[in-house]
Amino acid sequence: MTSFETLRIDTEGELGFLTLNRPDRLNAMNGVMLDELAQAAHWFDQRLDVRVVIVRGAGRAFCAGADLKGASSSGSPSAPPPGSASWQARREASQRGLRMANAIEQMRAVTIAQLHGYAVGGGFLLAVSCDLRVAAEGTTFFIPEVELGIPLTWGGVPRMVRELGPALTKELVMTCRRFDAREAKEMRFLNRVVPADRLEAEARALADSVLAMPAVPVVITKDQANAAAEAMVPARTAYLEGDVLIGVSSDPASQESRADYAARTLTKGGKKS
């Protein structure tokens, strides 16, 4: 089995597991994790025997989004601070999150996001890129990029518009407000909300009900639905968002928002209520 620094991958027959594995940071995504998620997606694509993959997080949260303590001071592991690297290197970094989301969305296997604790920012977008979603009661969602002084990138806005519609996408991205699993189910973002102690069993049950169906019509259905979603709301120009991110995150006002946000949310005693 391939090994990763920030992930675990396992298989049990036709069922695969992709586990974010930085529990001490609530599975916050650094650049290594973004690259490894894309690599893991390609690894599963080579395994024709694995038909469903459950995407989950180790520890007490699914994913706390971009790693705000990493080397980047831009508020995103996909945009290094200006001046720290060549334009080419910065542009490459700015495409990482989109490449991750595209790789997950385009996996041959059916993906089920198993959500608990928190699904924040890029963690929310990882879940958006999965085919089906099951969350534990009490899971908290929010998308803080705008408060961090940057636009939501990684193809997140077109994907959210597909799933939630334009007005709700605008509200959640512009206000950065928190919402819970019950509201996310009402938005039709989640397929199931289950008691926390039933989460793993319910995700497996959903996987089993897909695995009980013939393989080829299932993957054709996935491709059909993805093609229809792309036709409704194309995300083909999302590559431009990385370039926008480089520009916006070099602005002093954006850097100030990011520093203020990190001080309020990550420092002990400075927590947001």
Which stretches of the chain bind ligand COA, using CB under 6 A? 25-26, 28, 64-69, 118, 120-122, 144-145, 265-266
Structure tokens at 47: 């395994």
Nearer to ligand COA, 199 or 206 (CB): 199
Report in angstroms the alpha-carbon separations of 166 from 148, 182, 233. Answer: 21, 20, 10
In sequence order, the 6+-apart residues with CB closer than 8 A to the CB of 253 are 149
Q: How far is the CB of 28 from ligand COA (least distance, A)?
A: 3
On the CB side of 94, CA atoms within 13 Å amount to: 28
Comparison of 16 and 75: residue with beta carbon closer to ligand COA? 75
Smaller CB separation from ligand COA, 16 or 122: 122
Closer CB to ligand COA, 67 or 131, in the complex: 67
124, 141 Cβ separation under 8 angstroms: yes
DSSP 3-state assignment of 258? Answer: helix
Nearest approach in angstroms of CB 75 to ligand COA is: 7
Residue closer to ligand COA, measured from CB, 63 or 130: 63
Which tokens in the block code for residue 122?
A: 């890029």
Q: Are strands 140-142 and 118-120 parallel, antiparallel or unpaired?
A: parallel
3-state helix, strand, coil in the chain (%, to 5): 50, 15, 35
In the complex, the smallest distance separating the C-beta of residue 100 from ligand COA, rounded to whole angstroms, is: 13
